Amino acid sequence: MVYKITAEADRQYIEEFREAPITHHRSPGLQRVLNVMRLYRGGDQYILIARKEFQDYVIGRMPPLRDEPIVIEDDLVLPSREAAEWELFRRRWHQITGETIALNYEEKPA
Amino acid sequence: MLKITGYPDRYSAEPGETIAFKVSLEENDRFEARLVRVIHGDANPQGPGLKFRHIPSNADGSHPGFAQSIDAGSYMSVENFPPLDAAFTFYTMIWPTLLRRDDQTILAQWDDKSGTGVHIGLKAGGYVTVTLGGPEGVTQAVAPKAMVERQWYALAVAIDPARGTVRIDQAPIIPYAMSDDRVAADFALSPAHAASGLMLAGTRLADGTVGRHFDGKLDSPILLSGLHPASLQDRLMRTPRDIELGRSLIAHWNFSRKIDTAETVDTGPYCFHGKLGNLPTRGMKGWNWTGEDHAWTRKPEHYGAIHFHSDDLYDAAWETSVAVTLPDDLPSGPYALHVSCGPSDVDATREDYISFFVTPPRDAAKRGTRPKLCFLAPTCSYIAYANHAEHITARGVEILMNRMVHFGHSDLWMYEHPELGGSLYDTHADGSGVAYSSRLRPVLNFKAQYHSWLGGHGSAVYQYNADTHLFDWLEEKGFDYDVITDEDLHRDGLALIEPYDVIMTGTHPEYHSTAMWDAMKAWIDRGGRLMYLGGNGWYWRVGFSDHWPGAMELRRAEDGIRPWIAEPGEYYHSFTGEYGGLWRRLGRAPNVMAGVGFIAQGFDFSSYYQRALDADNPRARFIFEGVPDQIIGNFGLVGGGAAGIELDCITTDLGSPTNMLRLASSEGHSGFMLLVNEEFGPVPPNLGGDQNDRVRADLAFGETAAGGALFATSSIAWCGSLSHNGYDNNVSRITENVLKRFLDPLPFPTSPDTDGA
């Protein structure tokens, strides 16, 4: 059976992810959470849309069949890939655990 | 979204030649164009940035343009086929593969403008239809029971067009218990008014395009005059032909003939040979395949099927928008036609770089003094990856990338235009693998500025745009070089590369034809010096065909990292008859060519090399001149290090020369850098680079018996580190040291007793 994410067991990884949403090495526990979150189970798939490379990102939702258009959420513009990863992590955390993460992502200097 | 794109009529041309560019505009009716030398196509602000040099030419200025479309989908046509105005019976073996699609064509003799003729098709859900169009209008018969996907059926349709009578017989070849897919039904429709010409798997539409395509295999289509029972089908397919039935025969297409061509052979008395459009897949198992032989060349009678796809594409056939005559004195190198139809913004990209290479003149009188360095442009790999859309067609890419899947404007446009055709990594809409890729279409990832969903974090460049890191470094360092493309090498062989002392590869030269492999090996064995500046090279065998120029074939057979897997029995190329798959499985592992071979793959982050003992071997002294560092390449635009994406290592068991020096090896890879599957039998739990020390790139060097040498970086990410710190870094220094020594005509030593280094 695939690992079941729970708020009690996995809350400890939230700050680790916020600190470095895209990084070389992670704790095995956080990587397991991410792998499970990212399992494709059908339906729309979240994607990252670069409206201007390296500067301007929005989140999109790609439908299961190509006949339907990609939904572009251009009401939320994000300045970096990392900010987009954090936004998606928060959504998935809420979807899985019911908890809301209020913390925002803090951009790091390049 | 992309508002302008295009493609050239070839990927390489000589100075003085004219190259035609086909451009499509979605906005405006004019575009600006200029010829540029491509120096650096990576827009990453952490790197040197975009660099292009304008080359004055007749392309300069404004040109008229318009929207051009692509008519995808394969089919067979017989233009001179006479009207089927008397009673006839059509037989075929059929294997449908996409029953959710509606309105497919099995056979059509249909005039779309007037709505007249005969159409035999498939309705969504798998129901055979017969449509007759005539003076009383259009009427349709629908079989009461559906076919099942990927099951062979014997289909017989008897039609009297004048009376409007139709009979459909549908019988599964394998009768499963509890199944309900057998049809024997009669229908009375309105009479048909005969049309002319004949098509299989597509219908000519009123606008001149071909639509209503079929997804699946057809085998042994036969037309008989008169109304006949379904039971005749077995007799009709026997050899020798039944003389009595032969008197009624109108046509019998035998797809097991001329498999390597664009033609189909009618073995009937009138020779209504067909032409294939948009490259359907041939050399396909037929309804009668038994597995007793897997080669269509040896048992063609078992390979009588053609697999048609509604999204096959050979030639976009766009009109030429601008024809550019290359200046006579234009140096060999990477170039592009820059086209633009306005300023780009967050909603749209309104420019494109249509890439191609200028090769040196073949005419000896025009060659002049040539550089001794050649960049072998990996156009086979560019074509293999052309419009690579696994981020669209395969789900679960996010988990493989270990981050969100990136879409730029080009990717959004690609999503909306499946008619662009897939890459050799993609699957057709019916789930079967894309076995052919053509360059006669816009290729959105063969462009400067393309930011790939597949590249490592940071620049995320892959294939062509990653190779621009090397173009930039050569320019920066002032090395003069010629470019030869893979297709040039395939066509002209050893003679084309013989004049060069040094050949540099791109970052990922993965695909090679047999002719290319033989030429390159011969060049190495005659003293060539190979600088393999990438990873996962010489991995897959591909084939070309004079019948389909510009297209390339791959069969993902047996083993290797395969985004799709060829069906058993379909491992032989239709273009060449050659057995396809990994060069390693063909007895020619990449190690034999480059000294190293594929070991690991991971797309998130790159790492560094740790200097190894062989770095202090006197034979390697020239490589490390001015490089005392223990750590090499702990920086870079592709994933933050020089060792990443795909890695190779020295393996003498697979053919790495025994004298290869392991100068350095990468370490510190993440758990997402994974051992490739041909490297293990039972699946080990420690596949990742964080737990498996076989996951590493070996920086390698070795002399050859002919006085030449091999140098391998064994990493796709290497070239992404060249520009770090103003090109002053240990990756750049090592590359320059090797190149300078390799350009020195002094032979490398061939025995321990000599010292040529």
How confident is the model over B671-687, as a mean pLDDT?
Answer: 95
Cβ atoms of B239 and B314 within 8 Å: the answer is no
Residue of A nearest to B44 (CA): A54
Interface of A with B in 73-102 (CB under 8 A): 81, 84-85, 88
Q: 3-state DSSP call for residue B702?
A: strand
Interface of A with B in 5-44 (CB under 8 A): 22-25, 31, 34-35, 38-40
Contacts of residue B337, Cβ cutoff 8 Å, sequence gap at least 6: B6, B8, B21, B33, B34, B35, B36, B59, B322, B324, B353, B354, B356
Cβ–Cβ below 8 Å for A31 and B405: no
Q: Which CATH architecture has domain B75-308?
A: Sandwich (2.60)
ipTM over 0.95: yes
Residue of A nearest to B450 (CA): A53
Residue of B nearest to A38 (CA): B399
Q: Report whether pLDDT(B757) > 50.
A: no
Residue of A nearest to B344 (CA): A52
Q: Give the closest of A39, A69, A85 to B403, CB-based.
A: A85
pLDDT grade for B210, boundaries at 50, 70 and 90: very high
pLDDT, residue A110, reads 62
Looking at every residue in chain B, the average pLDDT score rounds to: 96
Give the model confidence (pLDDT) of B616-658 as tens digits: 999 999 999 999 999 999 999 999 999 999 999 999 999 999 9
Cβ–Cβ below 8 Å for A88 and B412: no
Q: Report whether pLDDT(B753) > 90.
A: no
Phi–psi pair at B126, nearest 5 degrees: 100, 25
Residue B132, strand partner residues: B118, B139
Q: What residues of chain A lie within 8 A of the CB of B392, using their CB?
A: 62, 66
pLDDT, residue B756, reads 47
Q: What pairing do the DSSP bridges indicate for beta strands B406-407 and B75-78? A: unpaired
Cβ–Cβ below 8 Å for A70 and B391: no
Q: Give the closest of A48, A66, A85 to B418, CB-based.
A: A66
How confident is the model over B384-391, as a mean pLDDT?
Answer: 97
Q: What residues of chain A lie within 8 A of the CB of B347, using their CB?
A: 51
Cβ–Cβ below 8 Å for B605 and A38: no
pLDDT, residue B746, reads 96
Q: What residues of chain B lie within 8 A of the CB of A23, using their CB?
A: 605
- Within chain A, how many helices (H) and strands (E) appear? 4, 3
Question: How close A98 gets to chain B, by Cα (Å)?
Answer: 22
Q: Give the closest of A25, A39, A50 to B670, CB-based.
A: A25
Question: How close B635 gets to chain A, by Cα (Å)?
Answer: 13
Cβ–Cβ below 8 Å for B407 and A81: no
Q: Give the closest of B43, B396, B405 to A47, CB-based.
A: B405
- Flag whether residue A71 sits within 8 Å of chain B, measured between CB atoms: no
How confident is the model over B220-236, as a mean pLDDT?
Answer: 95
Lowest mean pLDDT among A21-25, B203-207, B743-747: A21-25
Going by C-alpha positions, the residue among B340, B86, B120 that lies closest to residue B221 is: B120
Residue of B nearest to A63 (CA): B392
Q: Give the closest of A40, A60, A69 to B395, CB-based.
A: A40
Question: How close B347 gets to chain A, by Cα (Å)?
Answer: 6
How confident is the model over B549-570, as a mean pLDDT?
Answer: 96
Cβ atoms of B685 and B578 within 8 Å: the answer is no
Interface test with chain A among B407, B419, B465, by most A beta carbons within 10 Å:
B407
Give the model confidence (pLDDT) of B705-742 as tens digits: 999 999 999 999 999 999 999 999 999 999 999 999 99
- Going B543 to B601 to A38 to A91, the CA torsion angle's sign is negative
Q: Which two tokens stand for residue A82?
A: 């990392």
Contacts of residue B22, Cβ cutoff 8 Å, sequence gap at least 6: B6, B7, B8, B9, B68, B316, B318, B319, B320, B321
Q: 3-state DSSP call for residue B590?
A: helix
Q: 3-state DSSP call for residue B30?
A: strand
How confident is the model over B674-692, as a mean pLDDT?
Answer: 95
Cβ–Cβ below 8 Å for B46 and A110: yes
- Kindly report the number of other CB atoms within 10 A of residue B173's CB atom: 13
Q: 3-state DSSP call for residue B436?
A: strand
Cβ–Cβ below 8 Å for B407 and A70: yes
State the Cα–Cα distance between residues B727 and B493, nearest whole angstrom.
35
pLDDT, residue B108, reads 98
Residue B100 carries which side chain, given as an amino acid letter? R
Interface test with chain B among A33, A40, A49, by most B beta carbons within 10 Å:
A49
Interface test with chain A among B345, B403, B686, by most A beta carbons within 10 Å:
B403
Cβ atoms of B590 and B355 within 8 Å: the answer is no
Cβ–Cβ below 8 Å for B398 and A84: no
How confident is the model over A13-40, as a mean pLDDT?
Answer: 95
Residue of A nearest to B407 (CA): A49
Residue of B nearest to A72 (CA): B412
Cβ–Cβ below 8 Å for A53 and B451: yes
**What residues does each domain of chain B span?**
4-67+319-364+371-526+540-582, 75-308, 590-743
Residue B697 carries which side chain, given as an amino acid letter? A
Q: Which residue would you say has higher pLDDT here, A107 or B290?
A: B290
Residue of A nearest to B395 (CA): A40
Concatenated DSSP letters of B611-648: E-GGGGSGGGTTTTTT---SEE----TBTTSSEEEEEE
State the Cα–Cα distance between residues B126 and B630, nearest whole angstrom.
65
Residue of A nearest to B639 (CA): A24
DSSP run (H or E) holding B371: none
Going by C-alpha positions, the residue among B390, B378, B424 that lies closest to residue B554 is: B424
Q: Where are the alpha helices (DSSP H) in B478-561?
A: 486-492, 494-497, 514-525
Measured N-to-C along each axis, helices A81-97 and A28-38 cross at an angle, to the nearest 10 degrees, of: 80
Across B287-369, where does the E strand assignment appear? 305-308, 322-325, 333-340, 351-358
Cβ–Cβ below 8 Å for A56 and B405: no
Give the model confidence (pLDDT) of B13-50 as tens digits: 999 999 999 999 999 999 999 999 999 999 999 999 99
State the Cα–Cα distance between residues B654 and B593, nearest whole angstrom.
11
pLDDT, residue A109, reads 66
Going by C-alpha positions, the residue among B545, B580, B548 that lies closest to residue B565 is: B580
State the Cα–Cα distance between residues B575 and B545, nearest whole angstrom.
5
Task: Please give the share of chain B, as a percent, with pLDDT higher than 90.
Answer: 95
Residue of A nearest to B641 (CA): A24
Give the model confidence (pLDDT) of B66-96 as tens digits: 999 999 999 999 999 999 999 999 999 999 9
Q: Which residues does B contribute to its contact with A (CB < 8 Å)? A: 43-46, 346-347, 391-393, 395-396, 398-399, 402-409, 412, 415-416, 418, 451, 457, 604-605, 607, 640, 670-671, 690
Q: What residues of chain A lie within 8 A of the CB of B43, using their CB?
A: 53-54
Q: What residues of chain B lie within 8 A of the CB of A110, using their CB?
A: 45-46
pLDDT, residue B229, reads 96
Cβ–Cβ below 8 Å for B416 and A47: no
Residue B485, strand partner residues: B377
Residue B447 carries which side chain, given as an amino acid letter? K
pLDDT, residue A1, reads 85
How confident is the model over B677-695, as a mean pLDDT?
Answer: 95
Give the model confidence (pLDDT) of B243-268 as tens digits: 888 899 999 999 999 999 999 999 99
Q: What residues of chain B lie within 8 A of the CB of A25, using their CB?
A: 670, 690
State the Cα–Cα distance between residues B518 and B500, nearest whole angstrom.
16
Question: How close B55 gets to chain A, by Cα (Å)?
Answer: 27
Radius of gyration of chain B from its Cα atoms, rounded to whole angstroms: 28
Cβ–Cβ below 8 Å for A45 and B398: yes
How confident is the model over B296-318, as a mean pLDDT?
Answer: 98
Cβ atoms of B287 and B306 within 8 Å: the answer is no
Is there a cis peptide before residue B240, judged by omega within 30 degrees of 0?
yes
Cβ–Cβ below 8 Å for A85 and B404: yes
How confident is the model over B670-698, as a mean pLDDT?
Answer: 96
Residue of B nearest to A87 (CA): B404
**What residues does each domain of chain A span?**
7-48+82-97
Going by C-alpha positions, the residue among B201, B143, B200 that lies closest to residue B172 is: B143
Q: How many contacts, defined by CB atoms under 8 Å, are there between A and B? A: 77
Cβ–Cβ below 8 Å for A48 and B346: no
Give the model confidence (pLDDT) of A44-100 as tens digits: 999 999 999 999 999 999 999 888 999 999 999 999 999 999 999 999 999 999 999
How confident is the model over B489-516, as a mean pLDDT?
Answer: 98
State the Cα–Cα distance between residues B743 and B593, nearest whole angstrom.
20
